[in-house]
Amino acid sequence: MADLTTEFLGITSPNPFWLASAPPTDKEYNVRRAFEAGWGGVVWKTLGAEGPPVVNVNGPRYGAIWGADRRLLGLNNIELITDRPLDVNLAEMTRVKKDYPDRALIASIMVPCEEAAWKAILPRVAETNADGIELNFGCPHGMAERGMGSAVGQVPEYIQMVTEWCKQYYDRPVIVKLTPNITDIRHPARAAHAGNADAVSLINTINSITSVNLDAMAPEPMIGGKGTHGGYCGPAVKPIAMNMVAEISRDPQTAGLPISAIGGITTWRDAAEFIALGAGNVQVCTAAMTYGFKVVEEMISGLSDWMDEKGYASIEEFRGMATPNVTDWQYLDLNYVAKARISQDDCIKCGRCFAACEDTSHQAIAMSADRTFTVKDDECVACNLCVNVCPIEGCITMEEVPVGQVDERTGRVVSGDYSNWTVHPNNPSAAAAQ
Ligand SMILES: Cc1cc2nc3c(=O)[nH]c(=O)nc-3n(C[C@H](O)[C@H](O)[C@H](O)COP(=O)(O)O)c2cc1C
């Protein structure tokens, strides 16, 4: 059986599934139950400095986007860091770590961007025996307005500076949690690396307004007639998170920097995809908040079964395998040719593929009088729109066909007799490969 044990920064956990810093990890009661359910580790809900209490709103703090079946696709929140006293959290963390020595327990921290503030909290966190710390440079609301969270994560110089302080005053692994609310994720990752971070974790939540109440004319969640942007997470953000993880993973300037991947992870497959892109483990928040702690059982068994099927004995055996196949557009092979294929056995004759292709794409699907849909190979550019709009999974597929010649009239590479095919003129990589 596949071994799911992970060694992330020397921290061993029985599986790669950690709970991200958020309400599921806000207190001892939750974390004990999470560990009993099987989670490999937790990042405790972000701790703040001693001082005036953190006060959350007392109205709705979540907004959401749903699919047609009311499945939660995106969650938006305006919650702050923990509003429980620091000493209570630290005492609870100490007890939990003592009782679950085989699980990872990471302290998430967000204090003002002053050396004294970090110097004061780090020894107290160290006393809990937590396995490491995660620097919350990501929360986009509430704390950012106070010069913390994403306000730090958006300035690479601050990231480096604070990371250096943490490496100076704390002797266990330091993970830097990045905000996605930035143009090029490689810059903050490089800054963390320059500050000697042991790893980066990403993504935190994305600035968002999920809905506007058209009676009150205010964004939701609405607190007394006003709303504010929140942080977006859940399945909807996974593609953004995967791109960012891939960008860091393949950046030569951060080569080898361990990554803890976060963002929309709901199933074992999501986790496997992030690991294939180089992540050493994954963190989950929305899926646990939606389905409860037991969702990890499916993640563990699914990943383990898939690894057995593929013959991977450990996570490390497939970690990063997809990274070399992430490339820049100009290196895509323009001589590769595919065509849409419609399975007549599966087709329910709804005509969505026809409408989409005829009205908005390449007029490459023919409809007969009895509503039989067929692909016109000469027109099909394999854009994949028909596959994506078809309501029947697997009914329309893309089939690779032999590379052909450049059609001088359209500039397209067409399939056909390729005994004397020419390399597409826009494709230096394919030309080089000749
Ligand atoms: C209600 C809520 C509160 C959160 N609080 C924190 C926090 O205190 N510290 C932090 O680093 N991230 C916080 N996050 C962000 C999550 O840790 C995580 O980065 C994000 O939700 C993306 O993961 P997901 O798509 O699995 O939810 C919070 C997220 C939610 C939904």
For 44-89, how does the pLDDT look when each residue is reduced to its tens digit (9 = 90+)? 999 999 888 888 999 899 999 999 999 999 999 999 999 999 999 9
Measuring CA to CA, how many Å separate 17 from each of 7, 74, 85, 101, 285?
12, 20, 27, 16, 11
**Catalytic residue list contains 139:** yes
DSSP string covering 151-180: HHHT-HHHHHHHHHHHHHH--S-EEEEPPS
**pLDDT tens-digit series, residues 230-271:** 999 999 999 999 999 999 999 999 999 999 999 999 999 999
Compute the distance from residue 139 Cα to the ligand 1 centre, in Å: 8
Using the predicted structure, report yes or no on whether residue 415 has a pLDDT greater than 70: no
Compute the distance from residue 22 Cα to the ligand 1 centre, in Å: 5
Structure tokens at 360: 């908005």
Compute the distance from residue 86 Cα to the ligand 1 centre, in Å: 19
Using the predicted structure, report yes or no on whether residue 429 has a pLDDT greater than 90: no
Give the residues surrounding ligand 1 with Cβ less than 6 Å away.
20-23, 45-46, 75, 77, 79, 81, 108, 136, 138-139, 177, 204-205, 233-234, 237, 262-265, 284-287
| Predicted pLDDT of residue 418 | 47
**Fold topology of 329-433:** Alpha-Beta Plaits (3.30.70)
How distant is the alpha carbon of residue 133 from its chain centre?
A: 20
Please tell me the distance from the alpha carbon of residue 42 to that of residue 231, in angstroms, as a whole number: 20
Using the predicted structure, report yes or no on whether residue 102 has a pLDDT greater than 50: yes
Percentage of residues in the chain with pLDDT exceeding 70? 91
**Fold topology of 6-325:** TIM Barrel (3.20.20)
Instruction: With CA atoms as reference, report the closest residue to 207 among 189, 180, 240.
Output: 180
Least trusted range by pLDDT, from 171-180, 241-250, 397-406? 397-406
Q: Where do you find CATH 3.20.20.70 in the chain?
A: 6-325
Of the listed 113, 139, 350, 357, which one is catalytic? 139
Compute the distance from residue 364 Cα to the ligand 1 centre, in Å: 44
Residue 303: half-sphere exposure toward Cβ, Cα within 13 Å:
31
Instruction: With CA atoms as reference, report the closest residue to 121 among 135, 101, 104, 100.
Output: 135
User: Is the alpha carbon torsion for 98, 100, 101, 105 positive or negative?
Assistant: negative
20 - beta bridge partners?
Answer: none
Please tell me the distance from the alpha carbon of residue 45 to that of residue 77, in angstroms, as a whole number: 14
Q: Where do you find CATH 3.30.70.20 in the chain?
A: 329-433
Which runs of consecutive H residues, i.e. helices, occur in 324-389? 352-360, 385-389
Surface-to-core class of residue 69, CB atoms within 10 Å of its CB (0-12 exposed, 13-18 middle, 19+ buried): exposed
Cis peptide bond prior to 235, omega within 30° of 0: no
Query: Ligand 1 atom closest to Cα of 286?
Result: 27
Torsion angle of the four alpha carbons 154, 156, 158, 159, in this order, in degrees rounded to the nearest 10:
90
